[in-house]
Amino acid sequence: MKPVIFGCEGPCLTDDERAFFKDAEPAGYILFARNVEDREQLRALTDSLREIAGRDDLPILIDQEGGRVARMKPPVWPEFPAWGVFDKLYDVAPMSAIEAARCNAHAIGLTLAEVGVTVDCLPLLDVRQPGASDVIGDRALGSEPMRVAALGRAVLDGLALAGIAGIMKHIPGHGRAMVDTHKDLPRVTASAGELESDIEPFAKLSNTSMAMTAHIVFEAWDPDRCATLSPIVIEKVIRERIGFDGLLFSDDLDMKALKGDRAELAAEVVEAGCDIALNCWARMDEMIATVERLPDIAEKSRKRLETAMEGIRPDSQAGDLQELIAKRDALLSHA
């Protein structure tokens, strides 16, 4: 097995993809809107990926957040709100906000389980800061660390009720980035003391099984490398200070915050301490080069992967989608 997550080109696998994926044995896959048409098609695609891997617990990731980040869209699937609305409800009714967030995540999880997706790239534990880039914006759970942690716990619990694993992101925190990492590399100049509030939600939920890094330079910790590529940030901050010992993904290596050959970057993030590199865009030449450049997955990373996927149920249907949405909406009406 190679320590990489790959994307695929379209709504069904090509013959070349089938042959390549079988030989390459990536750790898992990630889906985008280009891979999504309807329930039957999407279930067939995820079943194909599981068949190739020979594993029911295969990580099949998707960014199904709600709001402006949603790969599965109406009219086939419900439209889910951006997470900022739960932050607003928390102002007036914290317990209602937590329950509404749990219901929302449970409902999202049911839509994923139905089509065989096993991992959602949620929750964002980025503490929103005034004046920062709106790349996070209303995707955030709030600007107060304890609130972010409480709502984040509810999101993870809701997904788990549907048999879906969550990934907390973007560790050690994306809330201070002044530019969008899809477009450029942010540099955060805050002191180590100031950054304590950024890492607090991740520390509170450090027993979560999966996390995803931020492509951000934190000058207080490592002025030369972004977190994704920094052994200092990964070992001293993420592993030791935050206390996260789960499966660590890089964020997408194709984002413009990173420069250079993508296959080489994949090797660099694994060497820096990420368990798995994320290569999303299904370029066959790039994927072949990545597999050639990467070592086999480390034993510690394999064990983290196995632990993270324990209890995942691709066919789970625990809960009623419409009842959960109705309960969420009733709670949000009081915001």
CATH of the domain at 171: 3.20.20.300
**Given this model, what pLDDT does residue 116 score?**
95
pLDDT computed for residue 180 by the predictor: 83
Average pLDDT, the chain: 95
The residue segments making up the domain with residue 309 are 2-332
- Beta-bridge partner residues of 168: 211
Q: Is the pLDDT of residue 32 over 70?
A: yes
Percent of the chain topping pLDDT 70: 99
Say what the pLDDT of residue 305 is: 97
Between residues 333 and 311, the one the model is more confident about: 333
Q: How many Å apart are CA 219 and CA 332, to the nearest integer?
A: 39
Enzyme catalytic residues: 182, 251
95-to-85, 90, 100, 150 alpha-carbon distances in Å:
14, 7, 9, 10
> pLDDT for 59-85, tens place per residue?
999 999 999 999 999 999 999 999 999
Report d(CA 64, CA 73) in Å as an integer: 9
Q: Is the pLDDT of residue 315 over 70?
A: no
- Give first-to-last CA distance, the chain, whole Å: 47
Summarize the confidence of residues 16-43 as an average pLDDT.
98
5 has which bridge partners? Answer: 28, 278
**306 and 31 in contact (C-beta within 8 Å)?**
no
Evaluate if residue 317 carries a pLDDT over 90: no
* Per-residue pLDDT at 19: 98
Our count of domains for the chain comes to 1
pLDDT tens for each residue of 241-276? 999 999 999 999 998 889 999 999 999 999 999 999
The reported pLDDT for the residue numbered 318 is 76
What is the pTM (predicted TM-score) of this model? 0.96
Separation CA 257–CA 225 (nearest Å): 11
**Residue pLDDT, tens place only, 94-150:** 999 999 999 999 999 999 999 999 999 999 999 999 888 888 889 999 999 999 999
Provide the 3-class DSSP secondary structure of residue 41: helix
The pLDDT value given to residue 112 = 96
Q: Find the mean pLDDT for residues 221-248.
A: 98
Q: For residue range 166-204, list pLDDT tens digits in order.
A: 999 999 999 999 888 888 999 999 999 999 999 999 999
